[in-house]
Copies of this chain bind each other. A is one copy, B any other.
Amino acid sequence: MVAVRLPELVAALGGELSGDAASVAAARIDRIGPFDDATPSTITFVANPRLQPLLAASTAGCVIVGPALRDEAAARGPAIVTPDPYLYFARLTQWWAARTRVAAAPGVHASAVVDPSARIAANASIGALAVIEAGARVGEGAVIGAQCFIGRDAVVGAATRLAARVTLHERCVIGARGVVHSGVVIGADGFGFAPAEGRWERIEQLGAVQIGDDVDIGANTCIDRGALGDTVIGNGVKLDNLIQIGHNVRIGDHSALAGCVGIAGSATIGKHVTIGGAGMIAGHLEIVDHVHISGGTLVSHSIRKPGHYTGVFPIDDNAAWEKNAATLRNLHRLRERVRALEKSVRENAAADKNDTTGTP
Chain A interface residues toward B at CB < 8 A: 32-34, 37, 84, 86-87, 89-91, 93-94, 96-97, 100, 102, 109, 111, 113, 127-129, 131, 134, 145-147, 149, 151-152, 163-165, 167, 169, 179, 181-183, 185, 188-189, 191-196, 198-206, 214, 216, 218-220, 222, 224, 227-229, 236, 238, 240-242, 244, 246, 254, 256, 258-260, 262, 264, 272, 277-278, 280, 282, 294-301, 307-318, 320-332, 334-335, 337-338, 341-342, 344-345, 348-349, 351-352, 355-356
> Is the beta-carbon distance between A131 and B164 smaller than 8 angstroms?
yes
Q: Once the chains bind, are B314 and A188 in contact (CB under 8 Å)? A: no
Chain B residues whose C-beta falls within 8 Å of the C-beta of A182 in the assembled complex: 149, 167, 169, 185, 188
**Nearest chain B residue, comparing its CB with the CB of A325:** B314
Complex Cα spacing A332 to B262, Å? 30
Q: Given contacts A185-B181, A238-B193, are A312 and B311 in contact (CB under 8 A)?
A: yes
Could you list 16 further interchain pairs (A-B, Cβ under 8 angstroms) beyond the known A94-B204, A300-B315? Answer: A89-B203, A102-B152, A109-B113, A169-B182, A181-B185, A185-B220, A199-B236, A259-B262, A277-B280, A282-B295, A294-B318, A298-B313, A299-B315, A309-B317, A327-B335, A348-B348
Closest 8 CB pairs of A and B: A311-B315, A90-B194, A188-B219, A296-B298, A97-B204, A93-B204, A185-B219, A308-B318
Contact among B241, B254, B278 for A224, CB-based, below 8 A: B241
Number of copies of chain A assembled together: 3
Cβ-neighbour of A219 out of B224, B229, B337 (below 8 A):
B224
Closest to A259 in B: B244
Report the minimal beta-carbon distance from A21 to chain B, rounded to whole angstroms: 28
| Chain B residues with CB under 8 A of A129 | 113, 129, 131, 147
The answer on a CB contact under 8 Å between B344 and A86 is: no
Of B181, B241, B329, the residue contacting A314 (CB under 8 A) is B329
Cβ contacts under 8 Å, A256 to chain B: 193, 200
Contact pick for A203, options B90, B202, B299, B332, CB 8 Å: B90
A sample of 17 inter-chain contacts (CB < 8 A) reads A33-B228, A97-B204, A102-B152, A131-B147, A147-B147, A183-B183, A183-B185, A191-B218, A200-B236, A242-B242, A277-B282, A309-B316, A310-B315, A324-B329, A327-B335, A345-B345, A348-B349
The residues of B that contact A349 with a CB separation of less than 8 Å are 344, 348
Chain B residue, CB-CB nearest to A346: B344
Of B280, B317, B328, which is within 8 A of A260 by CB? B280
- Is B344's CB under 8 angstroms from A345's CB? yes
Distance in angstroms between the alpha carbons of A355 and B33 in the assembled complex: 75
Contacts of A89 in B (CB 8 A): 194, 203
A301: nearest chain-B partner, CB-CB: B315
CB of A80 to closest CB in B, whole Å: 15
